[in-house]
Amino acid sequence: MTTNEPSRPRNFIRQIIDDDLAAGRHPGGIVTRFPPEPNGYLHIGHAKSICLNFGIARDYGGRCHLRMDDTNPSKEEQEYIESIQADVRWLGFDWGTHYYHAADYFDRLYEWAELLIRKGKAYVDDQTADQIRDTRGTLTEPGTPSPFRDRSVEENLDLFRRMRAGEFPDGSRVLRAKIDMAAPNVNLRDPVMYRIRRESHHRTGDAWLLYPMYDWAHGQSDAIEGITHSICTLEFEAHRPLYDWFLEQLELPHRPRQLEFARLNLTFTVMSKRMLNELVRERLVAGWDDPRLPTIAGLRRRGYTPESIREFADRIGVAKADSTVDMGLLETTIRDDLNTRVPRAMCVHQPLRVVLENFPEGEVREIEAPNFPDDPPKMGFRKVPFSRVVLIEREDFVEQPPKKFLRLSPGKEVRLRWGPVIRCDRVVQDEAGRVVELRCSLDPDTFTGPPRDGRKIGNAVHWVSEAHAVPVTLRLYDRLFTVPNPAARGEFKQHLNPGSLEILADARAERVVGQAKPGERYQFERRGYYFADPQDCRDGRLVFNRIVPLRDSWAKIVAKG
């Protein structure tokens, strides 16, 4: 955990905690939890929740539990559990010894369910799921009590025990809380606590065929662990009365408090686990860590830093009203983070050969270039080899340039970044008329300064010496969807961006990049920030993922709607 971060911004949850502390409510300290269901990889929305929960624990000297909310039977949790743990750690947080599974509370939850039955607060209902749904009523009409609602305590206990013992088929009976079928809040209309499902559970195997519902499991899990503030997203606000009702009936010594905040929505992506799962399963992306996904694994693979994601969580803040954050803000955050800490280098994405006819063959000039031009002492200097043949970006040369074109064109001059001014004397084309090479001359006086005669030179273009260049593969990632809200209109997969990945296999970087280690980052000048892919950089091969281009090319598109 880095500690030299600025103090956290205030938010309404911290205000509530401050008030609770001032009122002497939590002498044992603040305890929060992050409770993912291990049915997928975590995404940037979860990161918001992680930063909030673990951040509060850190700042209040309390603790944050990591709890697998694994009340649903499922066999394939191990991969997800491992990814969740890795992602939370990578974000810079630590649960210490406080790692839990909701499934470990199944016995206690069962005992408590019997207690509710004995208190006349729960009953076994023989109605089908459809009947239960159909008799729930609406927002304006009360529900209809089940014909089984007034069973005796003895009968309920007997049936419930036999449910557990496996005497009844799946779906034939449920246990319901006996609250109020006319309650204005539909969550209080005798919610289901247990259903029968003959499915193995990753952790409890075949020990159970009764599985608790989220509402029944969650608050009690919080109480067992001594959670003081159970922070969840807004859709659970209407469940809070139920959360409190269960805790009240059980008269547990510890009473956690549920607080709700707005979930993170981001433009140009999807964050529902179902949709992410679909993209992965149908191989529309390369896996859960595909750098185009908003998963934490994907962002990490793309080259995002944990610091940038924590900073993003701070910038978006924590509010009580739902909103959608522009993807551009996430991209700006990583640019701001990397700007002052990764070195610059030059990398030509689509090379065009330039022969400098007045520079001697075989001669090499080592040019000193700052790694961080804004503040050269900060990152020092490197030597960039210069020779007779250099490569420039194909798009930096235009045969018939528009007015005010500041790059290279026939007869015109341009500066090579950190190097001399060159003039294009001749264009060499192949039989098809494609430009294959430029014949240029350089002004030897301009290696170290402006032209002597004071003539104005346009922009500087990046380049590499052909003989010293390092071949690299570039993966140019872009947004995965072409519309701001892909989930809103029709089938979300229709809006996939066909240009979300462009692979440039023929790029050339300057010599220093040849020493890049997997996981290192560069700003390739004039292009963007890049990350040496930790998995694909091997056997001397260099593969860079574009984390983000230097400028937001989507801003205008969004503005146009």
Q: Which of 21, 45, 250, 457 binds ligand ATP (CB under 6 A)?
A: 45
Q: Which stretch binds ligand ATP (CB under 6 A): 41-49, 74-82, 330-338, 451-459?
A: 41-49
273 carries an active-site annotation: yes
Q: Which stretch binds ligand ATP (CB under 6 A): 30-38, 113-121, 175-183, 338-346?
A: 30-38
- 46 counts as binding ligand ATP under rule CB under 6 A: yes
- 49 counts as binding ligand ATP under rule CB under 6 A: yes
Least separation in angstroms between residue 373's CB and ligand ATP is 38
Q: Which of 206, 25, 233 has the alpha carbon at shortest distance from 214? A: 233
Least separation in angstroms between residue 263's CB and ligand ATP is 3
196 phi, psi to nearest 5 deg: -95, 125
Least separation in angstroms between residue 399's CB and ligand ATP is 50
H-helix or E-strand spanning residue 376: helix 376-379
* Separation of alpha carbons 29 and 252, rounded Å: 18
H-helix or E-strand spanning residue 67: strand 63-68
- 155 counts as binding ligand ATP under rule CB under 6 A: no
Pairing of strands 63-68, 99-101: parallel
Q: Which of 478, 474, 477 has the alpha carbon at shortest distance from 542? A: 474
Residue with the CB atom nearest ligand ATP in the bound state? 45
Question: Of 48, 58, 176, 273, which is the active-site residue?
Answer: 273
- 233 counts as binding ligand ATP under rule CB under 6 A: yes
- 68 counts as binding ligand ATP under rule CB under 6 A: no
Q: Which of 17, 31, 36, 289 binds ligand ATP (CB under 6 A)?
A: 36
Cβ nearer to ligand ATP, comparing 45 with 287: 45
Cβ nearer to ligand ATP, comparing 37 with 244: 37
DSSP string, 515-536: GPPTT-EEEETTTEEEEE-TTT
Cβ nearer to ligand ATP, comparing 152 with 272: 272
Q: Which stretch binds ligand ATP (CB under 6 A): 18-26, 40-48, 104-112, 125-133?
A: 40-48
Q: Answer for the pair 40, 7: CB distance below 8 angstroms, yes or no.
A: no
Q: Answer for the pair 128, 148: CB distance below 8 angstroms, yes or no.
A: no
Rg of the chain in Å (alpha carbons): 31
Lookup result for tokens 């029944």: 216
Q: How many chain residues interact with ligand ATP (CB under 6 A)?
A: 15
Instruction: Copy the structure tokens of residue 30.
Output: 């603040």
Least separation in angstroms between residue 38's CB and ligand ATP is 8
- 72 counts as binding ligand ATP under rule CB under 6 A: no
263 carries an active-site annotation: yes
Cβ nearer to ligand ATP, comparing 66 with 442: 66
Cβ nearer to ligand ATP, comparing 66 with 159: 66
Least separation in angstroms between residue 193's CB and ligand ATP is 19
Q: What would the x/- binding string for ligand ATP be over residues 263 to 282, using CB under 6 A?
A: xx------xxx---------
Q: Which stretch binds ligand ATP (CB under 6 A): 31-39, 55-63, 291-299, 384-392?
A: 31-39
What is the Cβ-side half-sphere exposure of residue 196, based on CA atoms within 13 angstroms?
22
- 37 counts as binding ligand ATP under rule CB under 6 A: yes
Question: Of 8, 37, 255, 315, which is the active-site residue?
Answer: 37
- 102 counts as binding ligand ATP under rule CB under 6 A: no
Least separation in angstroms between residue 253's CB and ligand ATP is 24
DSSP string, 130-193: HHHHHTS--SSS-----TTTT--HHHHHHHHHHHHHT-S-TTS-EEEE-S-TT-SSGGGSS-EE
Q: Answer for the pair 46, 52: CB distance below 8 angstroms, yes or no.
A: no
CA distances from 299 to 44, 279, 519 (A): 8, 16, 13
* Separation of alpha carbons 107 and 98, rounded Å: 20
**Residues of this chain, 495-514, that bind ligand ATP according to CB under 6 A:** none
> How would you class 270 by CB atoms within 10 Å of its CB: exposed for 0-12, middle for 13-18, buried for 19 or more?
buried
Q: What would the x/- binding string for ligand ATP be over residues 159 to 198, using CB under 6 A?
A: ----------------------------------------
Sign of CA dihedral 303, 309, 310, 314: positive
Any bridge partners for residue 125, and if so which? 174
Q: Which of 17, 30, 32, 48 binds ligand ATP (CB under 6 A)?
A: 48
Cβ nearer to ligand ATP, comparing 46 with 189: 46
Least separation in angstroms between residue 396's CB and ligand ATP is 41
Q: Answer for the pair 160, 181: CB distance below 8 angstroms, yes or no.
A: no
> How would you class 518 by CB atoms within 10 Å of its CB: exposed for 0-12, middle for 13-18, buried for 19 or more?
middle
H-helix or E-strand spanning residue 115: helix 106-118
Least separation in angstroms between residue 218's CB and ligand ATP is 9
Specify the length of the chain in residues.
561
37 carries an active-site annotation: yes
> How would you list the strands of the sheet with 122-125, edge to edge?
122-125, 174-177, 192-196, 210-212
Question: Of 136, 263, 315, 423, which is the active-site residue?
Answer: 263
- 232 counts as binding ligand ATP under rule CB under 6 A: yes
Active site residues: 37, 263, 273
Residues of the shown chain interacting with ligand ATP in the complex, contacts defined by CB under 6 A:
35-37, 45-46, 48-49, 69, 232-233, 263-264, 271-273
